[in-house]
Amino acid sequence: GSKSDTYPDNLWEKTLAVNVSAPFRLTNLVAKSMKDNGSGSIINITSLNAELAFPKNPAYMASKGALKQLTKSLAYDLGQYGIRANNIGPGYIKTAMTDKSWNDSKMHSERRDRTILGRWGHPEDLIGAVIFLASNASSFVTGQDLYVDGGWPQKLADHIYDRFIEGELTKGQEFRILDIGCCTGDALKMFNRRNNLELYGIDIRDEKQEGYVFKECNLETDKIPFEDNTFDFIYSKSVLE
């Protein structure tokens, strides 16, 4: 892949055509029959990448995010005809597209260890989600995102801990985390509980937190409450390197 500033225009256009334009046009075709029947279920396959950014693949990230929102728009517009629209977002699944990561021992283990279940997904892991959304069992479900990812996002706090905390800090040491609308509260509680650290967090949500030292600040209106305005770690839900 290539970084955003060097990504080829032709690959950008092709990826959006396949991942966004094609589902849109296909939906318009099948929706005609679904309207006549008074019911239907549209299932689009997004990705974990619709929630979290990964490096050197901007077109894929953008297209999956767009498809996620397209599905919600379809759910709104087609609901009056009894048509439901939902997304299934796979995590790392063993397919031809992920062969490189699967066959690289380092990348394979890194992706495996990011999940709560401690393994890669397989295509058959999606069967239950598809059956549920395609059947009347989900007759009151529309405009939703069902992720089949082994619990990848929920383990991010552990990933931060392993990467930035373990073996690097001592008890009572200050560690500054700048959070951009994510999980600083939960992460810092866990860090403090494990190491009895004095951790400082800033959250643009301007929420009060408990269980650790928290210096509340709204980054849009307030100054960062550290004289040198520096942080050990800047974290955003939408950035994962």
Residue with tokens 């055509």: 17
| DSSP-assigned states of every residue in 20-48 | IIHHHHHHHHHHHHHHHHT-EEEEEE--G
Start-to-end CA distance of the chain, whole Å, equals 14
Given the residues 60, 92, 147, 212, the one annotated as active site: 60
The single-letter DSSP state of residue 7 is: -
- Cα distance between residue 137 and residue 229, in whole Å: 52
Active site residue 60: yes
Contacts of 206 (CB under 8 A, 6+ apart): 216, 217, 218
Alpha-carbon dihedral angle through residues 28, 31, 36, 41, given to the nearest 10 degrees = 180
Q: Which residues are catalytic?
A: 60
